[in-house]
Structure formats: C-alpha cells, structure tokens
Amino acid sequence: MNIFGIGLPEMAVIAAIALVVFGPKRLPELGKTLGRTLRGFQSASQEFEQEFRSAIAVPPQPAATEPAAASTAPTAVVATAVVVTPEPPAAPTSTPAA
C-alpha cells in the first residue's frame, strides 16, 4: 500500500506519533475529520472532472430537418474553383482517298 509516496511502515510510525500527541480519546475524532475532508476533496475533484469533460465535449450537430435559418451556429462557406485550360488543336489527319 503506497499513498502519496508513504508506505505502510511510515504510516504506522505517523499513527503512533499521532496517538502519543493527541491521545486515545481525541484520535478517533481527528480520524473522522480527516475522512470527511478527504471525501470532500474527492467529490470536488469528481465535480471538476465532470465540468471539464462537459466543457471539452463536442456539441451535437443540428438535425437535418431543421431549416438553416433557424440555426444560430456560425456556418462556413466553402468555395471551389474549376480551372479549364484549352487543349491545343489536334493535328489534321489525312484520310486515304478511295
């Protein structure tokens, strides 16, 4: 188990120091407070992730049955050009006389 780069032995040492400093009566209260705080951070993180994903999501395309004038989305105009170059005249071919 590795949380924030702290392994199990380090967590045991921290818990023992906390038990000595705060005492056995106050330690469960501090644990509850820490749990609530972590749960609050987790829910805030999930909400942020949902907001971020919805912000970068591609909006759905309008249905084909809607008239173009009713759409408020900007439209792009695509222009195409066709360039025609004249071909040189074909060389006259002589047909054999019959």
Domain ranges of the chain: 8-58
Whether 30 contacts 22, CB under 8 Å? yes
Q: Which residue has the higher pLDDT, 75 or 18?
A: 18
pTM: 0.41
The reported pLDDT for the residue numbered 40 is 92
CA distances from 51 to 22, 54, 59, 61 (A): 39, 5, 14, 21
Alpha helices by DSSP H, listed for 57-91, are none
In this model, does residue 65 exceed pLDDT 90?
Answer: no
Burial code (b: 16+ CB inside 10 Å, e: under 16) for 33-50 equals eeeeeeeeeeeeeeeeee
In this model, does residue 36 exceed pLDDT 80?
Answer: yes
The reported pLDDT for the residue numbered 57 is 77
In this model, does residue 78 exceed pLDDT 70?
Answer: no
Locate 39 and state its tokens. 């749960």
